[in-house]
Copies of this chain bind each other. A is one copy, B any other.
């Protein structure tokens, strides 16, 4: 039996974010604590040490890896620990408390589709739950065996990381057939020599997979026109317990209900997405961007809305409210900052930027930084790098005993003013009640002609050992407000098990019944990611 994948290269940490050895340095953590204290008056109770593998004990596997699967499955302690928790604050705190109580019984690392089929067949026959695992970046309890419950003989984490190749590249149609276990950077590495890119970036880019993006309906930045992964999917291959589903690769299709769309967003409950034909873009050569300051947040979001409705389709249009801007060191806590960027592989973006500029200035925005075409070709990449550094700091907050967690949503522009006021009020009230003090920041990560996708960040001091209850109360208050005021419980973080209480209110009951019936048809034994998105089928 193999031990774990990647023994020769650096392993991924079993706790926290990234590869072993990539955590924030002690000096960085100290500096962060100091900054939180000086700027927000938040006192840290740490840092406490990250867990070491020797700190934790894993229960014995409840099922034995059968000989037929032994060639690609692992009971290695690191592998099992790595697949026990996701990447939310909650996961990090549980990990810090050394509570690795519900590891998968083993981890499968399939090398080919037949391996996936073999795992599903065996699991189906043996009442073992299977959790499809991409990059493991879920913040919604989407990949944790702990939520599976006791109805199963065991749980296998099915990690697709070895299915990571671009299998076919169609330059004429700017698209590629890609194995879904590939992580963001490895995908872009394979596309770059062909002058192509998916231009699909999010904060978890480094350690999230194509299959994960599709299964959770992820949203990318540099993508304000085609934001959701849905729009990038040209065709899918999905292995279900009853066999493989191969959809036809097409640029567009009106033949009945979209088969792709049944699997996009299914969060591992209907099948394992193994391959996808994805739409790509030529790598941009022309860029233009500007950032603007506003003293008035209302003027700022009205400018943002006007840009979103202009038909200019910027590659980036992101608004930071004053608190959010201060978080990222970009403002003085009084100004909102709007970033507008255009890019193209075909033509200079001067006319686009000029009109974007006009629109924003007409709402009272003041240019604080502008870069013409080509002058700062690397700016977008630098911003991306900064952005991607975020998850590394997240584990530092947990070590410091500070609540720093986010929630994200979307609503219409009509709902937005009341929505925003109500969500901030409810959240702040809960923060004050639970933590005594703290701040709620907001940025618009994506904007659509018909509404924004706001992203809220809570920063508050926690009582060590009580962080999870404190956060749960804040999340409850925030989510109740989000639903009551017309938002969605998630715009791109997925439902998982974490968002179920609110998702179950949001989605129509009859739709859930229809989806459950579809699941029953594809996964009659209910072994796929039980508890995520919908209840597992009744056991027979």
Contact = CB atoms under 8 A, between A and B. Distances in A.
Which secondary structure dominates where chain A touches chain B? loop
Contacts of A490: 253-255
Interface in A488-540: 488-495, 499, 503, 506-508, 510-511, 513-522, 533-534
Interface stretch (A150-158, A185-193, A211-219, A292-300): A211-219
Contacts of A488: 248, 250, 253-255
Interface centre among A242, A246, A261, A279, by most B CB within 10 Å? A261
A61 interface: no
Contact of A259 (B267, B495, B511): B511
Contacts of A521: 510, 513-514, 516-517
A262 B514 contact: yes
Interface in A312-341: 312-313
Interface string A229-271: 0100010000010111111111111111111011111110010
Contacts of A450: 173-175, 234, 251, 279
Given A172-B413, A257-B265, A252 B453 contact: yes
A476 to B, nearest CB: 17
Contact of A310 (B250, B259, B346): B346
Nearest to A510: B245
Contacts of A351: 350-352
How many identical chains are in the complex? 2
Interface centre among A170, A446, A499, by most B CB within 10 Å? A170
A113 interface: no
A64 interface: no
A256 B252 contact: no
A528 to B, nearest CB: 13
A251 B517 contact: no
A228 interface: yes
Contacts of A310: 346-347
Contact of A346 (B174, B248, B355, B513): B355
Nearest to A533: B256
Contacts of A517: 514, 517-518, 520-521
Contacts of A70: none
Contacts of A258: 217, 230, 261, 264-265
Nearest 7 CB-CB pairs, A to B? A251-B451, A351-B351, A514-B518, A517-B517, A217-B254, A251-B448, A517-B521
Interface of A: 170, 172-175, 216-219, 225, 227-228, 230, 234, 240, 242-259, 261-267, 270, 279, 281-282, 305, 309-313, 344-347, 350-352, 355, 359, 410-414, 446, 448-453, 486-495, 499, 503, 506-508, 510-511, 513-522, 533-534
Given A217-B258, A252-B453, A516-B521, 10 more contacts: A172-B305, A216-B254, A219-B254, A227-B252, A251-B412, A254-B494, A257-B261, A346-B359, A510-B522, A514-B521
